[in-house]
A and B are shown apart, each in its own frame.
Chain A
Amino acid sequence: MLLILKKTAYILIIVAVNTYICSYLAAKLSARMELRRGYRETRIGGIGFPAIRFLSHLSKDHSAGIWSYMIFIFSMLLWTAAPFSAELSLVDMDSNLIMAILFLFTAVILNLAGPGKTGYGVLMGQASKRIVYAAAVLVPFVLCIASLVLAGRTFNLNEIVGLQREYWNIVYQPLGFIISVLSAALLFKVSGLGREGVQGIAAADTGGSGFAGAVSRFSHYSIILFMIYLITLLYLGGYKDFYFIRGYVMLGIKFYAVFVFMLFAAKALGSDLSDNRIFMRISVKFLIPLSLINLVITLGFFIYTNIYGLA
């Protein structure tokens, strides 16, 4: 029991600290990408900026809805599925990749498709649009993971990390990696974590003030970071040692590299995502077909080499 509590505390601290750093990085780098100086009212180059923003949320009165807490709980539950190292994982089961994907689905759908404001009775306002948005983000990501599962023939994240002993999966599935990062970038944008957000979607809920606003923002970050963490585990060898560099150091380096890459990708997607057609053009006409092609190529390659013993 104590061991579980200790592990939970470790994981919570890791998630909280990294969310803080990522929030700072996102603000700083997006400012530099737009040739802005960025927020420098706080000392040491604005390192206290996320804390000040958090406190400024708390200083405002706002009624918190049940959905904010639901999303928060699921965004925390996500981290039970992913192993931080061979030892540090809360739920050690054979199919923890499926568990991770299911939790991610629930969190993203709650985040995007859940009713943000129920005050005026619009329980499922713009429901179809929100669900299509969630699908547009998740379907390419899941198709890429399906390709990896086909290649690795396992649903266990520890085993997938172990299989990348010689070469990381990015060597075999570069397209899958790019599509996954672009999906994360899309989610980053529709969650309203960029400066612009997407009109009518979660951005409207994130913009809320008060405790609910702070919780909602933290949850959005948690979901995005989990997605990036999964990409790190699946494509970049996760927590495996790299020559003389310890595994957890490599994990941190890779995680932040993917996060920064995702920030650049989010910026490259443009700020005009408020137009639904552009959003759908990126996802339906680009990400989903490419991920399907990736899946078909992987499947074709393995059928051709008769790895499944079908012939």
Chain B
Amino acid sequence: MLQLLRNFFTALGNIFRKPRTVVYPREKIIIPEKSRGMLYLKLDLDSLDVVCNGCGDCQAACPESCLNIKNIRSEEGKQVLDIFQFDLGACIFCGRCVEACEFDAVGLSYRYQNADTERKNLVLDKGDLIRPSGTIRGFWK
């Protein structure tokens, strides 16, 4: 009986509280801090080039083998990134690639709405991974 009364007043109180859900996809929420979304390549703010030099540490650390990285030697003899392919369909967002990177060149963004009808569209390369929109917090506001 007491439980019944408690439930009654809880339901009554809820009418005056703010709803905790949103009507997706019309409204979107700000996802929580430290959420793991799609991988992105960080940019060197001086040269506006990717920080990654294609050393392949992240590829070795990835348990799902969703990274395919190749590097080349530049004219100055430096090791630079040539191919960076990321299979979003295989990624489990464990974050080992980020931990393994010595140069802090990759990170996990907050971008989480990545569904696609074609599996081949989930294989992303360098150009797709440096889009700044994917890295801004509150992207979906």
Residues of A within 8 A of B (CB): 29, 31-38, 40-41, 264-265, 267-270, 286
Contacts and interface: CB of A to CB of B under 8 A. Distances in A.
Contacts of A264: 8, 11-12
Interface string B15-58: 10111111100110000000000000000000000000000000
B14 A32 contact: yes
A264 B22 CA distance: 23
A32 B15 contact: yes
Nearest to B26: A40
A268 B15 contact: no
B14 A35 contact: yes
A47 to B, nearest CB: 15
A129 B125 CA distance: 62
B27 to A, nearest CB: 8
Nearest to A38: B19
Nearest to B13: A33
A35 B7 contact: no
Contacts of B1: 286
B20 A268 contact: no
A136 to B, nearest CB: 16
21 contacts: A29-B15, A32-B14, A32-B15, A32-B19, A35-B14, A35-B17, A35-B21, A36-B19, A36-B20, A37-B22, A37-B23, A37-B27, A40-B23, A40-B26, A264-B8, A264-B11, A265-B8, A268-B7, A269-B7, A270-B7, A286-B1
Interface of B: 1, 4-5, 7-8, 11-12, 14-15, 17-23, 26-27
B23 A267 contact: no
Contacts, number: 43
State the majority secondary structure of interface residues on B.
Answer: loop
Nearest to A261: B8
A32 B16 CA distance: 8
A32 B18 CA distance: 9
Contacts of B11: 33, 264, 267-268
Nearest to B17: A35
Contacts of A41: 23
A200 B37 CA distance: 42
B7 A267 contact: yes
B19 A35 contact: yes
A194 to B, nearest CB: 12
Contacts of B20: 35-36
Nearest to A36: B21
Nearest to A182: B4
Nearest to A271: B7
A265 B12 CA distance: 10
B14 A34 contact: yes
Given A36-B21, A270-B7, 8 more contacts: A31-B19, A37-B27, A38-B19, A40-B23, A41-B23, A265-B8, A268-B5, A268-B8
Contacts of B19: 31-32, 35-38
